[in-house]
Amino acid sequence: MTPLIFFVLFLFVIYLSSFQFSFTAAADPTYVYHFCSDTANFTRNSTFESNLNRLLTSLPTNASRGNGFSRGFFNATAGQDPNRVYSLFLCRGDQTTDICQNCVTFATRDVIRLCPVSKDPIVWYDECLLRYSNKYIFSTIETTRTVYLWNTQNATDPVKFNDLVGSLMSEAASQAVNDPKNFATKMANFTSFQNLYALAQCTQDLSSSDCNKCLRGAIAQLPTCCGGKQGGRVLTPSCIVRYELYPFYNEPATPAPAPTPVLLSPPPPSSVIRPRGKSGISSSTIIAIVAPIAVAAVLFVACLCFLRRRAKKKYNAVPEENADNDLTILESLQFDFETIEVATNKFSTDNKLGEGGFGEVYKGVLPSGQEIAVKRLSASSGQGAQEFKNEVVLVAKLQHRNLVRLLGFCLEGEEKILVYEFVPNKSLDYFLYDPEKQGQLDWSRRYKIIGGIARGILYLHEDSRLRIIHRDLKASNILLDAEMNPKISDFGMARIFGVDQTQGNTSRIAGTFGYMAPEYAMHGQFSVKSDVYGFGVLVLEIITGKKNSSFYQTDGARDLLSYAWKQWRDGTPLQLLDPNLTDSHSRNEVIRCIQLGLLCVQEDPAERPSMATIVLMLNSYSVTLPSPQQPAFFIGSRTERSLPTKEFEFSDKSTNKSMPWSVDEASITEVYPR
């Protein structure tokens, strides 16, 4: 058989294999993993068991009547408290109604076999998940039971692969949050002949914000569990993320190329003599078929290379001197000065919200009724036209719930004005450092603020189109919306990095005393770890309610970091806690955040955790935090510096057990539950 004929037959086999997938879809669902509660079991012949049997038996019928299988999601209850059973199922968003029904019907029988007396089990299959509980589980995020799975094969060029996984999973999560089914898939080219496929999905009872929180938390765990692996997934009871180098979900149907151009071609003239034992297909016919395919393949590869070259240019660091070109693109965001004057009542003192290092901020109302915050830069401020342009270019490209949203700008004569969304609760420092307002920030709100800031910085460092170093993280640059959600603001000092760039240098040191990392303050070196340092200072300030730059203790600790280290070293970390929180805090969360803050302010940038690791640490108690080293700017006596460090230990009973390793050989995927 000639190579050309073999190539044609190869294409034909690929075409036929596409049919085989649809014929095998009706088989039993593919089991992945399950959890049975070790602490909540029911007794045989109890009221709970009777309610459970009734619920599982009727679930397929009720779901069918309620269009649950067509939607891919359904929840139901049976019985009354204290023996009520809550149940839900979620089918993968690309599954047909029949496959969803088949998976759920199978799961209602299988879960009893897997967890015969458990009150709170969950079982995952490739096609669906099913769970029930004696506790209320609807519209609630649960990530305490998480399964990690990864392909045992390593990806080629793991750095490039991990970057693509991060960006593609982030795109999928953003799309899923806005999808009616909370489901999205994405595909991107990894190499000329290899694609990366990604999937993100939440249970449909979650709000958009909760879905986003769950997905971002799961994505943040991928580098830890699955970095550099050809496939990986994180399964939680509330959301699922997965990526592979093969299409593991059903792609939208596209018209298939006709597989039989050879069979339909007219027979050769009878005068042509066919060699015995050879194919009846003429060489000219084969060439006519293969040549267009080969040309198309070459053109396809050329297009990929061209697009990749364009993308590389697009994602490279943007020099500040090119901001003028960006401003031309952003013309649609430009406000005229008269409109802003009217909106702010000519910058009336009654409309003044505050005053920062670069100018004053006013509240305004546009003709449409939309409330805005107007940042008017003073002529004598340190921020010149270049910083102004830098902030406009940066913020206009950023979209994240924990970043303040830029609505527009004005650049007329000496006037440099930024127009932001109005955030009603001012900035974090307004509450944090005021003894009369500190009480409004209970521990749950502070913990929520810490997590929101971390997710916002993670977006800047890894999930946005460009890698961005903020360089000026501090409490006054954290705004709080009506629900006290944090929004990072003030990007006048921010710098854009290329996707492969890790650090930069500057001869102009600009920032705020008390928040600058030592390598930046002393040598002008900045990186993502510079922001981590600033975040660590913020965490310790949020816990203590004290400002680092104006902190002083008479017992030898002259700044907040030194005081925090002293209390940690002495085994008394809860002495750091704001007295307003003594009755409302979670002991383990506070200690964990103190440890995390101290890890962030270590002198060696390499020892500080990445923001992805920080988000993972905040979302998962199963992640063990290392012991922190002495902070970079530790100020104390020589005797204090020589004292040994005491290890402070604490335990969380709910996460104290160790989980076994297991390997799913069938799909060459390693599984690690927590």
Domain residue spans of the chain: 31-138, 151-250, 319-422, 426-653
State the DSSP H helix or E strand holding residue 544, giving kind and residue range, or none if neither: helix 528-544
Q: Which top CATH class is 31-138? A: alpha beta
Pair 515, 582: CB distance under 8 Å: no
Q: Is the sign of the CA dihedral 518, 522, 525, 531 positive or negative?
A: positive
Q: Given pLDDT bands bounded at 50, 70 and 90, which one contains residue 467?
A: confident
**Catalytically active residues, by annotation:** 472
Contacts of 493 (CB under 8 A, 6+ apart): 387, 470, 471, 472, 510, 511
Residues at the binding site are 375
SS3 168: helix
Per-residue pLDDT averaged across 408-415, rounded? 85
pLDDT tens-digit series, residues 308-339: 444 433 333 333 344 445 545 456 678 899 99
Contacts of 593 (CB under 8 A, 6+ apart): 447, 450, 539, 543, 618
The reply to whether 151-250 shares the fold of 31-138 is yes
d(CA 498, CA 291): 40
The HSE-up count of residue 41 (CA atoms within 13 Å, CB side) is 9
Neighbour count for residue 596 (Cβ, 10 Å): 22
Report the range of poorest mean pLDDT among 313-327, 441-455, 560-574: 313-327
- Per-residue pLDDT, 263: 35
Pair 90, 100: CB distance under 8 Å: no
Pair 214, 206: CB distance under 8 Å: yes
Q: In what order do the strands lie in the sheet with 415-421?
A: 352-356, 359-365, 371-377, 415-421, 406-412
pLDDT tens-digit series, residues 197-210: 999 999 999 999 99
d(CA 419, CA 373): 6
**Percent above pLDDT 70 for the chain:** 71
- Average confidence score pLDDT of the chain: 78
Contacts of 192 (CB under 8 A, 6+ apart): 301, 304, 305
Residues at the binding site for ATP are 375
d(CA 199, CA 195): 13
- Per-residue pLDDT, 8: 43
CATH dotted code for 151-250: 3.30.430.20
pTM above 0.85, yes or no: no
487-506 burial: b if 16+ Cβ within 10 Å, else e: bbbbbbbbbbbebeeeebee
Choices 1.10.3210.10, 3.40.190.10, 3.40.640.10, 3.30.200.20: CATH for 319-422: 3.30.200.20
Residue with tokens 């969360």: 589
Neighbour count for residue 65 (Cβ, 10 Å): 10
**Percent above pLDDT 90 for the chain:** 43
pLDDT exceeds cutoff 80 at 635: no
What DSSP letter does each residue of 381-418 carry, written as one string?
SS--HHHHHHHHHHHHT---TTBPPEEEEEEETTEEEE
pLDDT tens-digit series, residues 662-672: 223 223 344 44
- Per-residue pLDDT, 60: 92
More confident call, 345 vs 39? 345
Contacts of 154 (CB under 8 A, 6+ apart): 228, 229, 230
Report which listed range, 21-35, 144-158, 625-639, is most confident.
144-158
Choices 3.40.50.1820, 3.40.50.970, 1.10.510.10, 2.40.100.10: CATH for 426-653: 1.10.510.10
